[in-house]
C-alpha cells in the first residue's frame, strides 16, 4: 500500500501527542510512532486474512514494536507490506502477531513493525508461527535514571483521532465506551506510546530524534483523558503509570545510537 507522507499531517500528529521536539513540530521529520499511520491498513488487512472480519472489532491492542531504519520525512512516498507471522490460541481468545515492512518506492527500508493483538472470544483452529521479539523486563528496585511527567489533555482523544485517522468510538463516545465495560472514553494506546517516545528522545537521546532506533511497548491498562502519566526509565527500559497508580505501559524498550 502506497502512502505519501505530508508535512501538515506529521505536524498535526506531533501536536495531537503534545510532542515538544522541534523537528517534529516544524515538519522536518515525522514523529516515530507516526510510522504506524502508513502501515495500519496493511496490518489490518493482513489480520483479516487470518481472522474473520467480523471479529476484528473485538481485538485488543496488546503490543507495538517499531524498528526504525530511517526517519519518515515529509515528501517521502512509502509502501508497506504486512503478513501474520504467528497465531496463538488461548482459552479466552486468540493472539495474532503481524509483521510489517515499510519501504521507500525505491525499495530502501524505512521501518519494520510487530503488532500483537488479542481477539476476544475467537478460537483459531490451531496455534502456529512465531512470536514478536521479546522485550520483557522486570522493574529493578534501584532508583530510576529519568522520569518524565505529563498530563493527558481533556480533548486528547479527539485531536489524536483526527491526526492519526483512528476514529474508533471507544476513544470518542463516552456512552459507547461505558457500554463495553470501560470507565468512559479511553486514550488510544498508540497516543500514549507517542508520549513515551518523545519522553525517551528528550531524556535518552539528548533531544535528537534521529538517535531513536527502536521503541517497543506492551499496553497493560487504559489511560483516561485528564490523567497525569509518569514514564520512568532504567537504562533503555521503561514503564509508564497513571496518577491512579495503574501501570499503563509495561515492558517498554528503547534502542538508540
Q: What is the mean pLDDT of the chain?
A: 96
Q: At what angle do helices 156-164 and 7-16 cross, to 10 degrees?
A: 160
DSSP string computed for 102-123: EEETT--EEEEEEEEEEEET--
pLDDT tens sequence across 47-63: 999 988 888 777 899 99
Query: Cα–Cα distance between 87 and 126 in angstroms, integer?
Result: 8
Instruction: Note the pTM of the prediction, 2 decimals.
Output: 0.96
pLDDT tens sequence across 52-106: 888 877 789 999 999 999 999 999 999 999 999 999 999 999 999 999 999 999 9
β-pair partners for 180: none
| CATH numbers and ranges of domains, the chain | 2-256 (3.10.129.10)
Query: Cα–Cα distance between 153 and 235 in angstroms, integer?
Result: 28
Take residue 62 and report the three cell numbers written for it: 496488546
SS3 151: strand
In terms of Cα–Cα distance, which of 162, 197, 255, 210 is closest to 29? 210
Query: Cα–Cα distance between 211 and 199 in angstroms, integer?
Result: 13
Amino acid at each position: 500500500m502506497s502512502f505519501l507522507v505530508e508535512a501538515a499531517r506529521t505536524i498535526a500528529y506531533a501536536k495531537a501527542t503534545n510532542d515538544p521536539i522541534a523537528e517534529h513540530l516544524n515538519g522536518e521529520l515525522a514523529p516515530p510512532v507516526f510510522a504506524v499511520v502508513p502501515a495500519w491498513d496493511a496490518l489490518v488487512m493482513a489480520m483479516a486474512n487470518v481472522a474473520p472480519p467480523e471479529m476484528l472489532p473485538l481485538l485488543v491492542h496488546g503490543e507495538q514494536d517499531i524498528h526504525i531504519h530511517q526517519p519518515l520525512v515529509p515528501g517521502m512516498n512509502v509502501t508497506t507490506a504486512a503478513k501474520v507471522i504467528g497465531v496463538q490460541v488461548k482459552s479466552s481468545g486468540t493472539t495474532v502477531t503481524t509483521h510489517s515492512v515499510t519501504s521507500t518506492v525505491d525499495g530502501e527500508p524505512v521501518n519494520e513493525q510487530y503488532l500483537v493483538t488479542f481477539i476476544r472470544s475467537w478460537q483459531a483452529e490451531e496455534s502456529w508461527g512465531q512470536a514478536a521479539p521479546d522485550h520483557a523486563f522486570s522493574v529493578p528496585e534501584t532508583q530510576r535514571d529519568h522520569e518524565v511527567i505529563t498530563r493527558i489533555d481533556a480533548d486528547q482523544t479527539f485531536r489524536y483521532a483526527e491526526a492519526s485517522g483512528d476514529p474508533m468510538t471507544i476513544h470518542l463516545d463516552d456512552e459507547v465506551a461505558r457500554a463495553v465495560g470501560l470507565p468512559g472514553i479511553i486514550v488510544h494506546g498508540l497516543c500514549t506510546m507517542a508520549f513515551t517516545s518523545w519522553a525517551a528522545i528528550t531524556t535518552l537521546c539528548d533531544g535528537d530524534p534521529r538517535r531513536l532506533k527502536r521503541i517497543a511497548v506492551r499496553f497493560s491498562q487504559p489511560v483516561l483523558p485528564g490523567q497525569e502519566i509518569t514514564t520512568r526509565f532504567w537504562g533503555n527500559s521503561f514503564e509508564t503509570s497513571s496518577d491512579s497508580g495503574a501501570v499503563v505501559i509495561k515492558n517498554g524498550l528503547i534502542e538508540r545510537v
